[in-house]
Structure 1
């Protein structure tokens, strides 16, 4: 007698992974690594010299998109909220541990260079000197994120934003307009009144104020939600492409032509003196002021709206960047540690095009090798 096979429900088709997210995230990681070794020739070629924003904005925006895609479905009406909460906060805990590990590695590198290679320069850079001056207070502040070393302080921002992601995603499915309005108002108030998380024992605030930078993350979350629905957050139309292209061209000219940038900077100063909110007229990274924010959003919209960008990102030539983007966290952690090592070495060598080229190429090769190994790790 033939066995009776119960019919199986058809599997739900998985949506194809958008190659742009991985490739652009990989490009952002390369840019961050190059910029985190100041004084090398190649940093003059990175995006921060072509406009107002840099790879940090891209990193936060794409982190929001990734979180919306990965955790968003759990928070839609009828979704598995507790499962989504556990996954999002589990990822946040991983980010926290990675940040502490990178911090410990950087402190070890600074001490090792001074102890064995008579190169103490890194001990006096990037906030490491605070540990030497206030050891007990700093050892308490580091795990509390009240003190963060320079150049490795974006993960605490992502950690805090990911903790808030479940609530933001829940709102984003139900009242996206309300969420976007509240996010915009918080951004404006935080920038206008310089609101930030304080640091200790060194007085100051976080390099990235979460109250300001949340606007990029929220826009990323809403974009991820819309992508899950097969829609765009902002539709493609010719006039918007024209406006964003014109704004990006203006920003480029503003940056590279002093005869144009000078008068425009004075114009912003005049607007500031006339009473326009500071967060609209200033160029400040801590509070993600308007010129940086608008530049990042214009660039993101244009890259997402041009079909040729998607085709290019799907090509085999850019697959190394896609690989790096898929393994963003381990690549970023290794890159941060290597960048601090190279900073310490450069305190002795100064500017040297050949040496800088070899060091940067070696550091990027190690990151690609780690991403390749991690991508093929069993049970990854």
Structure 2
């Protein structure tokens, strides 16, 4: 009897030393890179501005969306895995571990609906004020006028998506599935990774996707394929909670991934090499290779994009100076914006849409593309700063808090 009682106690002690224990320190890279990804999304969502050349998509195949998803997965793994671990160790109910994720998914859903309504309102208002009927047709907005009833059904069920307001739906779906992914990630991480990879491969090869309604086609960021990068982030976050690496440092692997990043950069910027490689990929496609292997398709998270973001994440994670740099006071604005990711994302989306309208209405004003992204980032920083001050506990409250 004494032996049977000691075993659960040992399991609980082990859990407290692992996933359930709070991480020793908050890794500055998480908020810094998430803030950087959000800033890049804002810039890239104002097409035609000169700052676009500074974003990650210009050094390879992936862009800020992949960075956003993997960082969100890491953050979710760190934040929510302890609740699942407590349930697996018999210390709490499953609902206690699941509820925070589903509450967050609901918050994201509300934000998605609000952003969609704002986008419809912005472009509709601009079409009337600036006498540009084209504003009612941009970014899939024509559907709301041509098939209003169907669009009003599709909007709340996330199947009617507006261009540049179509990142959150896939993230919402993945966050709803996150409790089950975390259970697999905690109990059988490599099996979970294998299953996720298999779904990515088959869904991409067979072009499975969630259909849009009204209209034809599928979601812009296909959850069936983008789940793979999110799951990788979850698994990294779970291990990070234990102060471990999911993929250990290896000099050979570091050299290989760094070489791939250099090759991807050359493929992107050397026309002769790009012509050869693209031709070879087309030949493989003609021989029957799956489209998600021999293309750069963003919707299906094609292999070149996937490998690029994974290589970039691995190389950056292996460089000690990156951690020191992310902890530097000069990077504090990025960390602040990353810590208020949803606020910055939502506000940045609205600012980017306003910027698109202004740049379209005033194409001759050459300074607008230079100034608008900078103003947008500055507004997001100020908003994050205000939110941080509002969230900070008052001194009196600190004194009253039990030790």
The alpha-carbon distance between structure 1 residues 202 and 221, as it changes in their structure 2 partners (threshold 3 A), is: same
Pick aligned residue for 1:59 from 58, 63, 68: 68
Which residue of 41, 50, 56 maps to 1:32?
41
CA pair 214-13 structure 1, distance change in 2 beyond 3 A: closer
Partners of 1:222 and 1:216 in 2: how far apart?
10
Which piece of structure 1 moves more, 88-97 or 263-272?
263-272
TM-score, scaled relative to structure 2: 0.89
Query: Secondary structure at the residue paired with 2:342?
Result: helix
Q: Equivalents in 1 of 2:345, 2:364: separation in Å? A: 24
Question: Once the 2 structures are TM-superposed, how far is the Cα of residue 330 of structure 1 from its aligned partner?
Answer: 0.6
1:75 to 1:13, Cα distance in 2 relative to 1, 3 A: closer
Residue in 2 aligned with 1:364? 377
TM-score of the aligned structures, taking structure 1 as reference length: 0.94
SS class of match (1:367): helix
Aligned residues: 369
- Give the Cα separation in 1 of the matches to 2:134 and 2:345: 23
User: For residues 230-309 of structure 1, what are the structure 2 equivalents within 5 Å?
Assistant: 230-309=243-322
Please give the root-mean-square deviation of Cα atoms over the aligned residues, in Å.
1.4
Distance in 2, matches of 1:351 and 1:235, equals 52
Q: Is the CA contact (8 Å cut-off) linking 1:110 and 1:120 kept in structure 2? A: no
| Higher mean C-alpha displacement, 275-284 vs 208-217 | 275-284
Q: Measure how far apart 1:352 and its partner are.
A: 4.5
Q: What SS does the aligned partner of 1:280 have? A: coil
Moved more, 356-365 or 145-154: 356-365
* Counterparts of 2:118 and 2:136, CA distance in 1: 13
1:26 touches 1:328 (CA, 8 Å); kept in 2? yes
Task: Report deviation, 1:278.
Answer: 2.0
CA contact (8 A) 2:201 2:292 kept: yes
Choose which of 85, 88, 93 in structure 1 pairs with 2:98.
85
Contact 1:119 1:344 in 2 (8 A): no
Match of 1:343 in 2: 356
Residues 321-340 of structure 1 correspond to what in structure 2 (within 5 A)? 321-340=334-353
- Residue pair 2:23, 2:243 contacting (<8 A) in 1 also: no
Q: Which residue of the other structure, out of 216, 232, 250, is the alignment partner of 2:229?
A: 216
Distance in 2, matches of 1:155 and 1:379, equals 27
- 1:376 aligns to what SS in structure 2? helix
